[in-house]
Amino acid sequence: MPSSALCRQMEKNARPLAPSDHVGFDSLPDQLVNKSTSQGFCFNILCIGETGIGKSTLMDTLFNTNFENSESSHFEPQLKLRAQTYDLQESSVRLKLTVVSTVGFGDQMNKQESYQHIVDYINTQFESHLQEELKIKRSLHNYHDSRVHACLYFIAPSGHSLKSLDLVTMKNLDSKVNIIPVIAKADTISKSELHKLKIKIMSELVSNGIQVYQFPVDDETVAKINANMNGHLPFAVVGSTDEVNMGNKTVKARQYPWGVVQVENETHCDFVKLREMLISVNMEDLREQTHTRHYELYRRCKLEEMGFKDMDSESKPVSVQQTYELKRQEFLAELQKREEEMKQNFVQRVKEKEAELKEAERELHVRYEQLKQLHTEETSELEEKRRMLEEEMSFFSKRKAAAELLNSQSLNNKKDKDRKNAGFW
């Protein structure tokens, strides 16, 4: 019998047993609340939108504080992701909030680099968490979870549809993060235009197969309000930390020459709906969806890339130890194979080198014989020229001696003749 069917049979046969007196395990929810409250919570928000669309202002308005934000220009050479962490406290609940903002989103000529940097950032946070889980000595209880729990995607109110960059970015992110689309600066368009824009945006998301975060309706306590809020997506928001006096009360609003737009007035914008859905009602579900859906998908794909799997080819369970041993044997076999290949390559190269050396030696020997023969011939020729030179020198010496003798005889004859002539006179 399959395990699931066995469990259902056991549940069917289970007999409820009520304690005769108070035991105390009904305090477990209180224990969990106290433990969670003492440890605190973390929540990470990724804000994607072009420069100047109001990301920082909306964050300040959402959490009713003034975060330290520096202004960005439209001339960034590439997209930068700036993550800032803040410790907030409301009543006795502590929250470690991380706001990740995209600086220079969509300002570059190459739009692909914009969303690719975001994808890489989210994958890096998943990888950090996975590496912490795979450690032998883990410390997940005090590990700072940097995974992105919610992505507020800011849509510019200018135009009648989504930009191609918006579609491509959300398509590459919908399996990695909970996307909540918001129309920024919603006070710049009329009510009728805003309604048409919402319908157009949701239609384009559906037609392009982009899955945005849907508020859960499986919990009866929040099913009704979440189902109602799903029909208001994308939220049209206005952010402002400026306070304006309206009658006998002070409200957060944006004041214009023609009137005042109240941030927390639901007839003016959807800011209250966004804050309630994001923080008050569904923050824990966003954290849970990040872990059970997006992170588990990344973890499964990563482990499958590493060769780990739950079932073998025969649909039998495979333990991590079995997979490790199998991979170890495959690695050792591959290592041995590569070692043999390297040995064969080494032997082949040694043989080729020996053949090259022998050929070079043969060529040197031939060259040596040629030079030796040439030297012998030149030596013989030189000796012949030397012999001929010596003969010429000997012949020249003889001719010189004969000439000197002849010259001497000629001088003597001349002297005798001169003496005879002198005696005659």
> What integer is the mean pLDDT of 291-296?
93
pLDDT level of residue 126 (50, 70, 90 thresholds): very high
Structure tokens that stand for 211 in this block? 């899955």
User: What local confidence, expressed as pLDDT, does residue 18 receive?
Assistant: 65
Bridge partners of residue 99, in order along the sequence: 45, 84
pLDDT in tens, 50-76: 888 888 888 888 888 887 766 666 566
pLDDT level of residue 423 (50, 70, 90 thresholds): low
User: Are 271 and 237 a contacting pair, CB within 8 Å?
Assistant: yes
1, pLDDT greater than 50: no
pTM of the model: 0.71
> What integer is the mean pLDDT of 164-193?
90
User: What local confidence, expressed as pLDDT, does residue 320 receive?
Assistant: 66
User: What local confidence, expressed as pLDDT, does residue 104 receive?
Assistant: 82
350, pLDDT greater than 90: yes
In degrees and rounded to multiples of 5, residue 302 shows phi and psi of: -70, -45
Nearest in space to 100 (alpha carbons), one of 34, 158, 27, 42: 42
Mean predicted lDDT score pLDDT of the chain = 84
> What integer is the mean pLDDT of 374-386?
92
**Could you give the CA distance from residue 126 to residue 173 in angstroms, rounded to a whole number?**
13
Highest mean pLDDT among 322-331, 339-348, 414-423: 339-348
Taking CA atoms, 106 is separated from 53, 201, 217, 386, 417, in Å, by 12, 19, 35, 94, 131
User: What local confidence, expressed as pLDDT, does residue 70 receive?
Assistant: 63
> What integer is the mean pLDDT of 252-267?
83
